[in-house]
Homo-oligomer: A and B are copies of this chain.
Amino acid sequence: MTRSATRSATKPHVGEEAQAPKGERTRRAILEAAVDLASAEGLEGVTIGRLAAELEMSKSGLFAHFGSKEELQLSCVDAARQIFFEQVIRPALRGRRGIARLRALCDEWISYAERKVFRGGCFFDAAAAEFDSRPGPVRDRIADNWRDWMSMLETAVRQAQAAGELDPSVDPRQIAYELNALATAANKNAQLLGEHDAWRRALVATHRLLDSLAVAPPSGG
């Protein structure tokens, strides 16, 4: 934001991103605002006029970047996916495979929702509820992301089992279902009811489930 003001327009250093062309820059600014708005007011609530007013540009100028409202919505989903990856997946992947990473996925998700990376809580939770009965490409794109998240959990369960850290007799998809359920429910309780301890409950619940399925790691045997 402000730090670029002190840097003159010399060639970018190695490893720095080259200054993106104008169109790309405003496109990103638009999506940043749109995704935030969508998480709070819904993807249909992201109106071209409102967005344009918020960014102090014309409707038509903004519109030209996407060509249709549906394309804007799809771009929103993609932008949210990227943020979700940076804020949840990547940090969790730093831990090594096994129960640690599985726990990290839950913890990172809860933290991501609690610290309101998106103004209205988890973008995908809102988008999924909004589009789950509206067939079309937007719904499909949201479903893809949701599926990816679920199978990431499932894979982490499988790896924890393979590492001998988790009860191998349980169904990985069932555990993925339960962990996801116990974590994401906090979003509604906190966002709608204002219960700030919902996040703690989500942590307690997921940890308790994991602990109940944990087996003593093969400590050098």
Which A residues contact B (CB, under 8 angstroms)?
A: 39-42, 44-45, 119-121, 125-126, 128-134, 139, 142-143, 146-147, 150, 173-174, 177-178, 180-182, 184-185, 188-189, 191-193, 198, 201-202, 204-205, 212
Determine whether the beta carbon of A132 is less than 8 Å from that of B146: no
Complex Cα spacing A39 to B134, Å: 11
Partner of A177, one of B125, B192, B198: B198
Determine whether the beta carbon of B191 is less than 8 Å from that of A133: yes
Determine whether the beta carbon of B205 is less than 8 Å from that of A174: yes
Q: Please, which residues of chain B bring their CB within 8 A of the CB of A139?
A: 192
Q: Please, which residues of chain B bring their CB within 8 A of the CB of A39?
A: 133
Determine whether the beta carbon of B44 is less than 8 Å from that of A143: no
Complex Cα spacing A119 to B192, Å: 23
Q: Please, which residues of chain B bring their CB within 8 A of the CB of A45?
A: 44
